[in-house]
Amino acid sequence: MPKKTFLRLDAEKQERVIRSAIGEFNKNGFERTRIEDIAAGAGVAKGSIYQYFEDKKDLYIYCAEWGLAVFMKKLDGYAPTSDMDIFEYFADTLTKIRVMQEEKDLIAFLSLMTQEPGLAEASMAGMYQVGDEYIVRLIANSKRKGSVRRDIDDEILKEYFIGITDRFERRWMSRYLDFSREIPPEQNEMVQKELAQMLELIKNGRG
Amino acid sequence: MPKKTFLRLDAEKQERVIRSAIGEFNKNGFERTRIEDIAAGAGVAKGSIYQYFEDKKDLYIYCAEWGLAVFMKKLDGYAPTSDMDIFEYFADTLTKIRVMQEEKDLIAFLSLMTQEPGLAEASMAGMYQVGDEYIVRLIANSKRKGSVRRDIDDEILKEYFIGITDRFERRWMSRYLDFSREIPPEQNEMVQKELAQMLELIKNGRG
DNA sequence: ATAATATATGACTATAAAGTCACATTCAAA
DNA sequence: TTTGAATGTGACTTTATAGTCATATATTAT
């Protein structure tokens, strides 16, 4: 838990500190990250970090919570509507990728977090859960509408969809990491073409 | 590179040291692992570790290489034959899971390795490549035989198959982690049932 | 049996970075 | 404009553990 001093800081400075920390943790992992570098990156003195947080671990955990909250808020704008079909949802993957691409540092941090032993495991649970809930809802909607077969267990369908989409999202996302802002149109076309093939496989099978 | 002293040790002692190191690196990550603990786990003195390896990093890299070699050898017995169909291959997933389950520590170590910045990235490449090559060969065989449709790019098919199977393998593997040796038969039945549903989705589609 | 060489050990040293703190600076209130 | 509280700072202290080394023990050669 950050100290009250940190919470009284103006939002801009808070974010500067957290983003710097996330960047460093991301680059080096928890142990190899030096508080001094985080401080330098945020343009404050090392001592200040200790005015804000109990210790390095406290800072890390706050980064996790903060990052998770920001990420979830972003994702929220991409939540499936109550009667949305899973295919409609996937059709718009490009938007999702773009949203995530804006926060690539954050996402990299969140996914590395899962590997840090004994730090923020608790915070993580929530993250996966949200994604899972979306898929579960979409499967229910789709079964109701008849666009997804009803003879397969929901659990299996969930794993199947997550397996495929995670893999492709990662693949596509990595294509956008290099571009800072302007994305060449052929990039988008390429993704759309691959997406179409992916959906085709899901719909008509025979791998 | 280990020192010659280490290489002259009898195989049993070498393995004890490496397995202990892998266990510790696995549990704590590179930085948080104490050489003293590795030594204790292997039943040798801390100083001995430095008779065997240049430093901690040297030991880590050797663990990576050793682990990779062991893993590949195990996997080798599970390579697809030159005319094997991808569905035949998947049908026997249970064997693969069992083989991997015997080396769960090793596998956990190898997959965490990818996250350690600047240590054994080079060694990793080989690992993924092998799995990829298997799938590529299986896709070619299957397209030839007609059990996989020919109108989808190999690259897309590869991502699709790896996405699904990775996800399910992870799921199933985690079920076997708790059991040390005797596996209740209903466990195997459960996996077989899920596998059947997974294959059904791949074959006939409609998510 | 003796010498020479290789291996084992754990108390010790060096070092890097976490965490502290006395003092400086800024801010807000009266 | 003075005063008290909050915030900022970086030189200093502490701590943890990587890595060393003098010495002991085991092994091998002659």
Q: pLDDT tens across A145-193, in order?
A: 999 999 999 999 999 999 999 999 999 998 887 776 678 889 999 999 9
pLDDT band at B47 (very low <50, low <70, confident <90, very high): very high
Q: Is the pTM of this model over 0.85?
A: yes
> What pLDDT, in 10s, does the model give residues B69-105?
998 898 888 899 999 999 999 999 998 888 888 888 9
> How much is the pLDDT for B181?
67
Specify the long-range contacts of residues B154-161, CB closer than 8 Å, at least 24 apart. B156/A194, B156/A197, B156/A198, B156/A201, B157/A201, B157/A207, B158/B132, B159/A167, B159/A168, B159/A171, B159/A198, B160/A164, B160/A167, B160/A198, B160/A201, B160/A207, B161/A207, B161/B86, B161/B135, B161/B202
Q: How many other C-beta atoms lie within 10 A of the C-beta of residue B26?
A: 21
Give the separation between CA A104 and CA B40, rounded to whole angstroms. 41
Question: Which member of B112, B153, B160 has the closest CB to residue A115?
Answer: B112
Mean pLDDT of chain B: 92
> What pLDDT, in 10s, does the model give residues B114-152?
888 777 776 777 777 888 999 999 999 999 999 999 999
Is A180 or B165 the better-scoring residue by pLDDT?
Answer: B165
What type of residue is A202? I
Residue A123 has pLDDT above 80, yes or no: no
Q: Do B197 and A152 touch (CB under 8 A)?
A: yes
Q: Give the B-side interface with A, CB within 8 Å.
A: 27-32, 86, 112, 115-117, 142, 147-149, 152-153, 156-157, 159-168, 171, 194, 197-198, 200-207
Residue B180 has pLDDT above 70, yes or no: no
Q: Give the A-side interface with B, CB within 8 Å.
A: 27-32, 86-87, 112, 115-117, 142, 147-149, 152-153, 156-157, 159-168, 171, 194, 197-198, 200-207
> What pLDDT, in 10s, does the model give residues A2-57?
999 999 999 999 999 999 999 999 999 999 999 999 999 999 999 999 999 999 99
> How much is the pLDDT for B147?
95
Cβ of B8 near strand C (under 7 Å)? The reply is yes
The size of the A-B interface in CB pairs under 8 A is: 117
**Alpha carbons within 13 A on the beta-carbon side of A177:** 12
* CA-to-CA dists, residue B87 to A206, B100, B164, B187, B202, angstroms: 10, 20, 13, 22, 9
